[in-house]
Each structure stands twice: as structure tokens, then as C-alpha cells.
A and B are shown apart, each in its own frame.
Chain A
Amino acid sequence: MKKDLSVIILSYNTKDLTLQCVSQLQQALSKSSLQAEIIIVDNNSKDGSSDVLKKMSDNSNIKIIHNAGNSGYGKANNQGLALSEGRYVLYLNSDVLISGESFFDTLIGEMDSHSLYGALTVRVQLSSGGIDPASHRGFPTVWRSFCYYAGLEKLTAKIPLINRLFGGYHLTYLSQSTKHQIDSPTGAFFLVRKDILDTLEGFDEDFFMYGEDIDLAFRIKRLGYAIIYDPTYTVLHLKNQSGIKIKDDITVQKKTRKYFYESMAIFYKKHYEKNYPQLISTLVYAVINQKKTSL
């Protein structure tokens, strides 16, 4: 293996963002002493991304894959994984900006000196200033999901001890300013050991979008590795700007919602169904189905 780090970015109708993301990333990487590469997988964007990407491919450390269709998030990232040569893989969303000091040296150093760390994420901040809740998650057990959707998590987020009971979905009882273990980061910034990804064969392609990051985290943790949230470093996540003008397009919105709840059902079936009585499972699927169609 020749490289230290492979950054894999999925591009889908985010021309300007992708450009900004990659140029900031390039800058950060150039300040580090790491041997790094960037792999961009384009899922047949319709906004002229491919011209921009073509220009980028002149860079010796950028590889581009053009797909003829949109085969989903997991599949595209797995194509990137197959090409990657780094000891570590960073899954990065095209709407994530890395600015300021380059932290890649210390981040990789931290992974190198802790063989128990299977994966790591940093403080993924939204434009509003708060952290992306998806970057600091617990595994969505039935109880945790119930507390979250019933609003109990939000209600108890600031109450010590009680939040331990009700705040498992986003681990609200753990301070966001200290380094600790979490269950799952977001796929927006997800640094993983390559050897683990090789054994696990990357993302599960049954998920089209949403949920594949939690599924991967689940499979990393059950091998006995830790997943670390380290807020020493921050990146900016300009969430909800990918997709074609999402806010105006009701069919896209519907589709997105459908994928979200389908992922939830796949995850439950794959990891939890065997642990719960049939009655609970029936109820879980009914609720998911209701949510999926209620838009």
C-alpha cells in the first residue's frame, strides 16, 4: 500500500460545492506530510459537474469515476474504495468544507497510535453553528428511536441522568466538547481504517441512501473497535444543499423521505429484529410504513 490516506467524495449535482470542497481539501492536504489521494465518484450529475471534474483530473492525486446512472450512495463509495490505496479512508461529503489549519497529520497520528480506534469523526458543524446531530449518534434501538420521535430526547436533553435514559438516539448526555466514544458518526466525515473496510467490504449496498453509515459503524463496533468523536477539529457541513433544489421539488422530497424510512426498516431487519419479540417488530414496521407514506 503506497498511500496514507484516500479521501472518497460522492458527487451528485453539487458542481459549485464539490469544487469548493475539493479545493479546500487539496489545500489542507498539501500542508500535511501525508501521502494522500482524492477519489471522486460522480453519479451522472446533470448540472455540468462532469466538466468541472474533468479539469480536476489533471491533478496527479485526484482520481475520477464517472457513472452512467445514480446507483446510490453506498455503491458509489464502494467503487471509490476499490480504487483506494491509502491505509485510511475518509468518506467526505461534497458539501463539507475543511478550512483553517490542516489537521490531517494529527488525526492520522491519533489513529496510528491507537490500534483500537476503528473509525473517527471530528466536530461536524452546521452553518447555524451547532453540531450536525447526525455526527454524534447512538445506535437506533427501538427504545432510543421511540424517545427521539416522541420528543422525549429533546425535552430531557439538559437534565442530567434523565438524559441518559431518554437521549440515547443522539447521545445527548455526552458533552460535545470532549473526546469520547460514540456509536456512529455521519458519512459526511467518516475516517476508517482501510483493513477493516476491506474485510467488511465497505458499505452495504442494500441501502440506497441514509442509514448506510450507521450500518457500517455498527459492523465496525461489533468487531470490537471503538469509534471516536474528537471535537478538537471542526469541519463545516452545508447540509441539505445537494439534490436538485430540494426545497422546491415535492417529488424529490418524497423520494428522499421514502429512502430514509426504507433504510430504517432495512437496519432494523438486519441487526435488531432477532432481538425483539414478533409483536414489537410488527409494530416497528407499521410505524415506519406509516411515516413513509404520510407525506
Chain B
Amino acid sequence: MKHIGIDARLLFQTGVGTYLQNLLHYLPLYASQGVTFTFYCLPSDAPFIQKEVPNGRIRTTTALWHSWKEQADFLRCINRDNLDLMHFTYFGHPVLYRRKYISTIHDVTPLLFKTGKASTKNPFIYWTKHIIFSLVLRNQVEQSKAIITPTNTVKEQLALVYGSSIENKITPIYEGVSYRLLSGEGGKNTIEKPYLLYVGNFYPHKNVEFLIRAFAKSKSHYSLVLAGPHDYFLKRILISLSNEEKKDIIIKDRQSLSELVTLYKHADALIHPSISEGFGLPIVEAMYFGLPIIASHIPVFQELIGASYYSFDPFEESSVIQAIHKFKDEKEKRTPILRQEFTFTDMVKKTMDLYLQHV
């Protein structure tokens, strides 16, 4: 019997949470005989895992990612289990762990930009943390037996940073539309005007403030609906905008899954101004709901959507305005087709293959 461990501590974080929930949800479908799983999670998340994978063992830990406790307590916790293979599902791992492991690296954005919570720290703390982060990540990249990335773009980015010698151990595996969204019903549309939809958080690299300013100048007849957490980052954006700029903005925070489905179903298009992504869950979701996409011309979006979207330079207002008008004026809207590889069942199947290859 081979014993595989999965780090599920980030089960309810945005982005990576969706990845983990789906990995767990479909795992029983593909789990082969002769393999047992242990899941490491926060105490509050144990019931969820129990439900999704009844046969799995669960170990709870209070050691959060990117903490000192992760390096000591979490290390002890996984060492105790003598795993044949460990899967770290995020960057951040106990650097002294010596047994065989594979990693999922979702995104190199934190290596490239000061963003997310990090952007709120003072420069000294930020740079100290950044240096430690870079060292830990380098160790993880070098020591992992295999690395999963959500796109080929992230694979190439890692190869540029760490040298092409690591290319052979990186397998890009696409993600898809969450099972929770697939089963969502959706309700009645309550938004009067036709609208463009943004889905995601409001970290600086998502570039939403820039989008709002450009959108206001575009004087299109749309509203702009922002679906994401009403947190510090959104508040900061709203403070910096004039009333004129906020006129056609509708904020939908903490929406339920069914509300999100409703938003997708009635939107005219998805709009996404991000300057860096590892994948794009909202992009794939928009494809699933048959929406046209207006988005930045960045390598990841080009890989996911190809030429079938309205692309713009996310640093030039005029470019965004042009893209919105092009979308508005075109009679036959360009609409991307959801590619077959963009499913989480496929993702879990390929991940399972990788486990078996390395266990």
C-alpha cells in the first residue's frame, strides 16, 4: 500500500481553494487501488474533507502557510506519517522535509510584483519577506520530483527564472469550472442595464482601479459589475475614485454561488484587466457560460483564449476603451469555445497519473 499526503490547508482561500476543493471532490473517481491518502488541513475544514473523501485519513494542523510554524510543527506532522509521496499544493513547504514530494506552483506573480497583502507592508518588512519567500520557492522548485503548473506559460516562466534544466520535471495541467458552479442554478437578473462583468479579488496586480477609470471614459452604455470580496483593497480603490467615475459601477460582494451563476448568465461579456495571472478561473467560467471576453493581452490569457477575444494593453486607457467599443460595435461577437482540456475531472485524472508515476 502506497501512502500519499496532500496539503489541503488552503482549502477555502480564493483561487487555490477552488483547485483543492475540486482535487478532493474528484479524487475518489480516479483513486486507484493500492494507494491511500492523508489530507492535512485546518481543524475547521476537516468535516468538508470527510464528506468529499470518506476513505481518506485527515490530520489537522494550525500551522499556516508562509509561517515559522509551517517550518517546525507542520514538518513534524508530515514526517510522522512516513509518506511515500507528499503533494504540496501551493508554494510554501517545510524546507527541511527530506522525503519525496511534488508541488503545484500556481503563479509566479508574487516573484514579479509587489502585490496582494504584501503590498500593504512597509518596504523593509516586504523585502525581508520577499527574500525569504524567494529562497523557499527556489528550494521547493529544486527539490520537487515533479512540478504541476496550471498553464504552459507558468512552466516557461519558471524555466526562465530557474534555468531550462528544470523544464523536464514540469507538467502543465489545466484547471476548469468548479463542480460547485456547474451545479449552480442561478436566479432572476436584477441588474437593469446591460453589463460587463469582472470576477475576482482586488489586489493591485488585478488592475481594477485602472479598469474603472478607463471604463468611465469609454462612455459605453454598459454598467460595470464587480463581483469580489469587499475588503481593504476594494475600499482603497473606491476612495481614490471620483463619483463620476463610480457612476456606472455595481459592486456585488459575498455573492452566493447561485448569484454568481446569475451574474454570469446575464452579463454581456466578461472583462478582465489583470497584468499577471497563473491561470484564469473567471476566463474559463466565462467560456463555460458562453460569454465573449474583453481582457488584457498577457501570455496566460493568450494561451487560454487564443485570438478569440477582445484584447487590450492593460497599461493604456485608450487601448481598453477601444476594445470595449470594438466589442460593442461588432455585430457578430467573438465568443471563445470552452476547450475540452478545461475540466477539473481531467485535471484530477492527470494529477493521479503523476502521483502513480512518482510514488
Query: Interface of A with B (CB < 8 Å)?
Result: 114-116, 118, 181, 195-196, 199-201, 219, 222-226
Contact = CB atoms under 8 A, between A and B. Distances in A.
Contact of B160 (A181, A200, A219, A222): A181
A195 B302 contact: yes
| Residue with the greatest number of chain B CB neighbours at <10 A, chosen from A199, A200, A201, A225 | A199
Interface string B294-312: 0011111011000100011
Contact of A114 (B156, B300, B313, B315): B156
B104 interface: no
A110 to B, nearest CB: 12
Nearest to B151: A115
Interface string B249-292: 00000000000000000000000000110000000000000000
B157 interface: yes
Contact of A115 (B112, B302, B313): B302
B319 A116 contact: no
B319 A115 contact: no
B-side interface size class? 20 to 34
Contacts of A225: 299
B297 A116 contact: no
B313 A199 contact: yes
B160 A195 contact: no
Interface of B: 112, 152-153, 156-157, 160, 275-276, 296-300, 302-303, 307, 311-315, 319
B112 to A, nearest CB: 8
A213 B99 CA distance: 49
| Residue with the greatest number of chain B CB neighbours at <10 A, chosen from A222, A223, A224 | A224
B156 A115 contact: yes
B315 A199 contact: no
A222 B316 CA distance: 11
B307 A116 contact: no
Contacts of A118: 299
Contacts of B302: 115, 195
Contacts of B298: 223-224
A223 B156 contact: no
A226 B155 CA distance: 13
B299 A224 contact: yes
20 contacts: A115-B152, A115-B153, A115-B302, A116-B156, A116-B157, A116-B299, A195-B297, A199-B312, A199-B319, A201-B319, A219-B313, A223-B275, A223-B296, A223-B297, A223-B299, A224-B276, A224-B298, A224-B300, A226-B156, A226-B160
Given A114-B156, A181-B160, A195-B302, A219 B315 contact: yes
Contact of B275 (A181, A201, A224, A226): A224
B299 A199 contact: no
Given A115-B156, A199-B319, A225-B299, 13 more contacts: A115-B299, A115-B302, A115-B303, A181-B160, A195-B311, A200-B297, A219-B313, A223-B298, A223-B299, A223-B313, A224-B298, A226-B156, A226-B160
